[in-house]
Structure 1
Amino acid sequence: MGNNQIPHYHLFIHPLDITDLRRDIWCDDPVPAVMKFNKRKFEIDIVYRGSHIREFDKKSYFVSFHKPSLFRKAKEWHLNAEFKDPSLLRNKLSLDFFAEIGNLAPQSRYVFLVINGRKEGVYLEIESVDEYFLQKRGLPSGSIHYAIDGDANLSLMSDLDKKVKDSLLLGYERKLGMDMDDDSLQEMILMINTTSREEFEKKIHVIMNVDKYLRWLAGIIFTQNYDGFVHNYALYRNRENGQFEIIPWDYDATWGRDVNGKTMEEDYVRIQGFNTLSARILDIEHYRKQYKNLLETILKEYFTIEHLRPKIETMYELIRPYVLLDPYKKEKLDEFDREPEFILNYIEVRSKYIKNQLTKLD
């Protein structure tokens, strides 16, 4: 396969199973399927994934492998349609950006999906955040919790109904770990919200990798993912040192467009963030100074037209031939072709906004 090609996955799903999938798009029970790739055959399970995106014409999928049980050192991955993103670039651009500025972030790549001989178009294959994610990076074992809705706001109050939570586990789904790991998560949330300023300053670095947290916060600020503060992340707790790290997830509503693909003004997300933990960490002078220095470094080295243009153009040129074959995107080619410049313009105006706001961190 040449550098200018993307992998083609040919999936075969029994028509009755497709009917089952379509009958209830909210059902999380997978159906069996076969995937063919590079003359190899894989027995898999497949089901629709996501929340509101399940209602779109172009579905996103969650795939798990059975025979063989691993593919590319993974037991499962996600196929995202990126249906509302006219560029198809934002999620991958975001995840790569997070990794570049020092965060744990899933790897991703573009693929072309064909189901029962019908072209379904360009998809983004995203690595699952699980035990294999940790193994690939040589990280210690630990727990992983997915933040699945607005209750995962690291607060005692629900972001959904504005009431005190019945449980501090609301909004989280344990992907990896044991019951005791649920206890650690609840203790962390309780500490964030109930300790005095002095006690918080003494304890926060023990239970949270603050440097990585600030890098994650910076990633949200630059990509401007408003939802990122209350979900669209996973929590990994390193069992060796007991510290939590946050891993970004689902960053298609970024780089100047919201969840519906509409323009998001460059001043929509303030540089201090919105959740309780960010406020408490930035209330401590040396962390605030560390965060400001981090933003300045990223503004100078990573969040620039010169640095990001080649990445954007390379991705765009890679997938454009396949967008022509995508039944959901080929009629919107003009819109797709305009998006690289739209994103570059966003980088320019967002960069100016952040620079002008830095004094708020003094």
Structure 2
Amino acid sequence: MSEHSILKNMYLIGVFKLQKYEIFINPKTLNQLNKDIWMDEHVQAVLKIGNNQYSIGLAYRGNVIRKKKKKSFNIIFQKPFTVNGAHEVHLNAEYNDISLSRNKLSFDFFDTIGVISPNSKHVLLYINGFCKGIYLEIESFDQFLLQKRNLPMGPIIYATNYYANFSLLSPKKKLKTDLLEGYTLKYGDEDDLSHLEDLITKTNTVKNEEFEEEITKVLNVDQYLTWLAGVVCTQNFDGFIHNYALYRNSETNTFEITPWDYDGTWGRDLHGKRLDHDFVPITGYNTLTGRLLHVPNFKKKYCEILSYILESQFTVETQIGIIEELFETLKPHLQMDPYIKRKGNSLDSEKDVIVNFIEKRNSYLKQQLIKLQDDKVYG
């Protein structure tokens, strides 16, 4: 039996049916939400999933997406306080992503290579009985995620803008007045931010001969290098100075890093425009990465990690089945999304875009890997 026949049979038996999420909200409250799309205060609503109903706080989320017709939502569970171990989830519209899938493909890819990543799944959203289309439910990276994964508790800090570049200088090359500029504490105490200041200070001030030893006291270097390989493979241009969260493991007292907001990946930018496969260099962009890769042992480790991923995970052979199964899940529901004017064959075309990107990006990175190992990448 062909792969296509297998996928078709899986759909017929219901494997590819999206779960239905129904939100019920007072029309006056919904009008209030729509009149002030920048309001971050949550309003009262009810979420029904199957036979279960939950009292929730509902708000719009994101920046650019709030101006679009199809908006993204943030949900806080109120009664009960947690659902399936989560207190907060996000429903992303994925409006600029023709595949509706680049975020999910990225999170799943990072999880596969060993980087903490939020779980995600597509759902079919209704509000007051009207279908609002396909959304991607994304787990919040918070203390509840740590509990679900049986990870040690520790502070979580979000990189919320481009100032989160691990540097003493702003993106405009001006001296920062606050090392914590660009960061928001998600979980923990204000005192926990001093550990992030320590990381940034060490990154920028420790002498070369002391850096290898000192940085390992505050950063899980192997985990960071694995994350770096993931960003480089998926080619998230913003991922080095934005679109990440830091978690300080209380057992090791070192920071670990996780991806966030990865729609600008797999050959497209965050607006959905095509990007050349060599747009992002193998060495990334931020100050911390630059210093790490100038340490021979760290550079060697990064090359080993990236080489393994390029041979085993970031390949057409590994990813194509994942992509096809995900797209077959979405195809039957595209016509139900009032904001989508395309048909199922648009996903077939987008599959070709992603597969072509993986093939070319893999080849490019393998070539750059040889140069990096020979130190030619630092001209």
TM-score, normalised relative to structure 2: 0.93
Decide which of 307, 325, 340 is 2:318's aligned counterpart. Answer: 307
- Residue 191 of structure 2: aligned partner: 180
Is the contact made by 2:156 and 2:188 (CA closer than 8 Å) also made in structure 1?
yes
* Residue 94 of structure 2 corresponds to residue 47 of structure 1: no
Distance of 1:188 and 1:286 partners within structure 2 = 19
Decide which of 130, 144, 154 is 1:118's aligned counterpart. Answer: 130
Distance of 1:7 and 1:334 partners within structure 2 = 22
Query: Unaligned stretches of 5+ in structure 1?
Result: none
- Residue 69 of structure 2: aligned partner: 57
Is the contact made by 1:289 and 1:361 (CA closer than 8 Å) also made in structure 2?
no
- Residue 277 of structure 1: aligned partner: 288
Distance of 1:157 and 1:309 partners within structure 2 = 41
SS at match of 1:260: coil
* Residue 94 of structure 2 corresponds to residue 82 of structure 1: yes
- Residue 95 of structure 1: aligned partner: 107
Name which of structure 1's ranges 19-28 and 275-284 shifts more when overlaid on structure 2. Answer: 19-28
What displacement does 1:46 show? Answer: 0.7
Decide which of 339, 352, 369 is 1:358's aligned counterpart. Answer: 369
- Residue 252 of structure 2: aligned partner: 241
Is the contact made by 2:56 and 2:78 (CA closer than 8 Å) also made in structure 1?
yes
Is the contact made by 1:157 and 1:165 (CA closer than 8 Å) also made in structure 2?
yes
* Residue 237 of structure 2 corresponds to residue 226 of structure 1: yes
What displacement does 1:285 show? Answer: 0.5
TM-score, normalised relative to structure 1: 0.97
Task: Give the counterpart letter for 1:232 in structure 2.
Answer: N
Deviations 1:343-362 (A, max 9, x none): 00110011111011112322
Distance of 1:330 and 1:127 partners within structure 2 = 28
Distance of 1:32 and 1:53 partners within structure 2 = 22
- Residue 267 of structure 2: aligned partner: 256
Decide which of 208, 223, 239 is 1:212's aligned counterpart. Answer: 223
Task: Give the counterpart letter for 1:119 in structure 2.
Answer: C
Is the contact made by 2:332 and 2:344 (CA closer than 8 Å) also made in structure 1?
no
Distance of 2:24 and 2:139 partners within structure 1 = 22
- Residue 3 of structure 2: aligned partner: none
Q: 1:150-189 maps to which residues of 2 (within 5 A)?
A: 150-159=162-171, 161-189=172-200
Task: Give the counterpart letter for 1:102 in structure 2.
Answer: G
Distance of 1:237 and 1:129 partners within structure 2 = 13
SS at match of 1:312: helix
Distance of 2:14 and 2:214 partners within structure 1 = 51
Instruction: Tell me how large the CA RMSD over aligned residues is.
Output: 1.2
Task: Give the counterpart letter for 1:216 in structure 2.
Answer: W
What displacement does 1:334 show? Answer: 4.2
SS at match of 1:280: helix
Query: Unaligned stretches of 5+ in structure 2?
Result: 1-12, 374-379
Is the contact made by 2:133 and 2:336 (CA closer than 8 Å) also made in structure 1?
yes
What displacement does 1:167 show? Answer: 1.0
Deviations 1:109-168 (A, max 9, x none): 111100111111111100101111111111111000011111111111112x43211211
Distance of 1:98 and 1:154 partners within structure 2 = 21
Task: Give the counterpart letter for 1:30 in structure 2.
Answer: H
Distance of 1:2 and 1:178 partners within structure 2 = 46
What displacement does 1:333 show? Answer: 4.4
SS at match of 2:216: helix
SS at match of 1:142: coil
Deviations 1:66-105 (A, max 9, x none): 1111111101101011100101111000000001111011
- Residue 8 of structure 2: aligned partner: none
Deviations 1:295-315 (A, max 9, x none): 111111011111100000000
Distance of 2:102 and 2:334 partners within structure 1 = 15
SS at match of 2:59: strand
Task: Give the counterpart letter for 1:114 in structure 2.
Answer: Y
Number of residue equivalences: 361
Task: Give the counterpart letter for 1:256 in structure 2.
Answer: G
What displacement does 1:336 show? Answer: 3.0
Task: Give the counterpart letter for 2:15 in structure 1.
Answer: N
* % identical aligned pairs: 48
SS at match of 1:206: coil
Distance of 1:335 and 1:318 partners within structure 2 = 14
Distance of 1:80 and 1:11 partners within structure 2 = 15
